[in-house]
Amino acid sequence: MSDAESYFQSGNAHFQNGEFDRAIADYTKAIELNPKYAEAYNNRGSAYARKDEFDHAIADLTKAIELNPKLAEAYNNRGLSYAIKGEFDLAIADFTKVIELKPNDAEAYNNRGVAYARNGEFDRAIADFTKVIELKPNDAEAYNNRGIAYGEKGEFDRAIADYTKAIELNPELAGAYYNRGNAYARNGEFDRAIADLTKAIELNPELAEAYNNRGNAYYEKGEFDSAIADYTKAIELKPNYAKAYNNRGNAYAGKGEFDRAIADYTKAIELKPNDADAYYNRGNAYARKGEFDLAIADYTKAIELKPDDAAAYNNRGLAYARKGEFDRAIADYTKAIELNQKYAKAYYNRGNAYYEKGEFDRAIADYTKAIELNPKYADAYNNRGNAYAEKGEFDRAIADYTKAIELNPKLAEAYYNRGIAYAIKGEFDLAIADYTKAIELNPKYAEAYYNRGVAYARKGELRRALLEFEDGAKLASPNDISRLWTIYARYLWARTKAQNEIWDVYRAAQFNEILKIKPQDSPGCSKELTLLISELDDLINRKEKKLNGFKKDGSKDNERERKVLKTAYYLKGIFSYQLNNHIGAVRSLEQALRYDKKFDEGKQLLRYIWESQCRPAWWRWWFFAPKPLKRWWKRAVGFVLVLFMLLFVSLPFYLHLFAPAQLNNRGVAIAWVFYLIPVVVCLFILLSPSLLRFRTGDFEVELTPEIRTMPEPELTPSMARELTKLVDEKDRAK
């Protein structure tokens, strides 16, 4: 044996023992002694590859091929190095050369199949693995690899069959259990997936990926605690396992623990800064916490990393919509649709944004497109029904709500909306039936109780209406509009006890007749109204504290609070009038008009009370109207008027006592003339109905003779309309 051969054999021994540095040294010595020793270059290249020094490995293997172009082993080893480096085309070329040199080399077919699969050429990969199985029918790895290729093609049944065969051939093949578990999971068979992944973990307790994927299966089943336990174990085995952190974040989010979820997503981003999915998921968590600016920032980063991610655009649009920035939301939904023209959810969301902007035709077009893409999209039918209802096309709206109910019989909102449409059409029995169904599906659906109460009231069943309002109030917050409804219903009921014909009057909308029904006839009714006023005061205090006074910032929340306050003051004005507290009624109505200057019913009632109760005694207004002399010019005018009145009283005495001695008759007459002129002017200003006025904040109520000819206000029906508007606005806000 030559010296070169001796070093070569020594290198092989070191290679077998895993001593790759010593093996490389011996192969190098052999090459120095025999520069044309192709096998030494081949084996040294293999040793370099085992040390992950693939460039050195490829150089040595290329030299071996130059020295011996028929050395199939060198081609195979170089192909493996290329594959590990991700250069699959070069790897495939080398494996193909091996097959040319050795047509029945099952290993070369297997390696080329793996390279084809890694390169996304799954049909070619399957063909190569099939060839391996023909050459080696009992090769479990070949079945396992072919199963992987089938799985990547989405042919899960074939994949499962191959994994099952691999397990039959080698029951200890952990990879086959692992892969079959993944295939079951992708096929939606999560219990089987969990069983296989559990077996893979038994065979290989250090397989972090198996814990991670079993966690995914538990997550899909909604067993978040089990999922979190598996993700945590995967992280223990691989502390830098970014995907496990991301998945555990999803599980925490599923439990509603968004702070923990955000912490895990943040860790995943630290480990893998270019992970678009982690940014996307963290954005979802921020959005569910209501932190929409942070959510938008994360969605934006996800889009930068993955510009073709339609879901990121869609969810960023949702965040913009929640902020009320509907134009930006629409732009994002539109981009999502450009990236994925079959994205029904994006059409649906864009339809919602158009709806919020009041562009109902565009909203209907988008809902219709969403339905075309997903004919079973119950929410799209429901919302398209809302858009039709806003346009006044109630028959179409009812048809859409009915279709939504067919697709999803448990969609309480569709029953509720259809009930509203029936009520608007005057079909109260059908409306009540739908509200009842909505309540069955969602016993805490406060708005359904309110509207069912309205329907009963409009049918004349006031007692049932009262019960409905009270049930709804129990489900809502104490300072919500439910209290207004309940107070209003109790008011109607108290009035009914005072005079049974209230409903006939209510139905006829005869305002003067309604006002004739006084609570004095029933002490219980009077006591009830007093109690209701105290409840209204409590509600008003809560709302004004929340509003931080009388603001005009135009935000949606403040605007809604102002409307609730307006309605509360309006009710208080009505109750005060019923108790003959006319000044209190005027003051309450003044406050109502401060919150809504265009509140016509409030203006009418205020003018009516003034004209019928306050105006004949002008001094009531002067001394008792709310804040009559608050402004400086009013104080000045008042001072001048009082001065004239004092002169009116004192001047005759002055003339009688002193004038005879100093003035002749002509002088006295002139003095009287100059005295009477300002007095007449003063009386004209005080008593003339064409000039008399009082201010309510920034709103002026003109008390002119035309008041007598204006239509009589409809008190009770208008109150119901105002409350219904509040409920509708609350529904839209939801």
According to the model, what pLDDT value does residue 174 have?
92
According to the model, what pLDDT value does residue 288 have?
94
Both tokens of 696, joined, read: 């309510």
Give the DSSP H or E segment for 695.
Answer: strand 693-696
According to the model, what pLDDT value does residue 448 have?
84
For residues 183, 186, 192, 194, the Cα torsion angle rounded to the nearest 10 degrees is: 100
49 domain-assigned? yes
Phi, psi of 617 (to 5 degrees): -100, 90
In tens, the pLDDT along 173-225 reads: 999 999 999 999 988 899 999 999 999 999 999 999 999 999 999 999 999 99
Q: How far, in whole angstroms, is CA 3 from its chain's centroid?
A: 78
Q: Are 575 and 532 in contact (CB under 8 A)?
A: yes
696 domain-assigned? no
Residue 64, domain CATH: 1.25.40.10
Q: Using CA atoms, how far apart are residues 582 and 42, in angstroms rounded to an integer?
A: 108
Q: Using CA atoms, how far apart are residues 588 and 563, in angstroms rounded to an integer?
A: 14
186 domain-assigned? yes
Q: Are 217 and 190 in contact (CB under 8 A)?
A: yes
Both tokens of 391, joined, read: 């346009």
Tally of domains within the chain: 1
In sequence order, what DSSP letters do the residues of 124-140 get, joined into one string?
A: HHHHHHHHHHHH-TT-H
In tens, the pLDDT along 346-368 reads: 999 999 999 999 999 999 999 99
475 domain-assigned? no
Both tokens of 613, joined, read: 């109760």
Both tokens of 534, joined, read: 């105290």
308 domain-assigned? no
The type of residue at 190 is F
- DSSP 8-state symbol, 374: -
According to the model, what pLDDT value does residue 542 have?
73
Residue 179 sits in which domain range?
A: 3-232
89 domain-assigned? yes
The type of residue at 62 is T
The type of residue at 534 is S
According to the model, what pLDDT value does residue 524 have?
53
Both tokens of 302, joined, read: 């996800």
Which stretches in the chain have pLDDT values below 70? 1, 460, 462-463, 465-529, 532, 546-558, 560, 610-734
- C-alpha angle 582-588-592 in degrees, rounded to nearest 5: 140
135 domain-assigned? yes
Buried b (16+ CB within 10 A) or exposed e, 677-687: eeeeebeeebe
Q: Using CA atoms, how far apart are residues 345 and 233, in angstroms rounded to an integer?
A: 36
As to burial, measured by CB atoms within 10 angstroms (0-12 exposed, 13-18 middle, 19+ buried), residue 55 is exposed
59 domain-assigned? yes
The 10 Å Cβ neighbour count of residue 171 is: 12
Both tokens of 27, joined, read: 């192969």
Does pTM top 0.85 for this prediction? no
Non-local (6+) Cβ contacts of 176 within 8 A are 140, 143, 144, 147, 163, 166, 167, 170
Q: Using CA atoms, how far apart are residues 598 and 698, in angstroms rounded to an integer?
A: 12
The type of residue at 36 is K
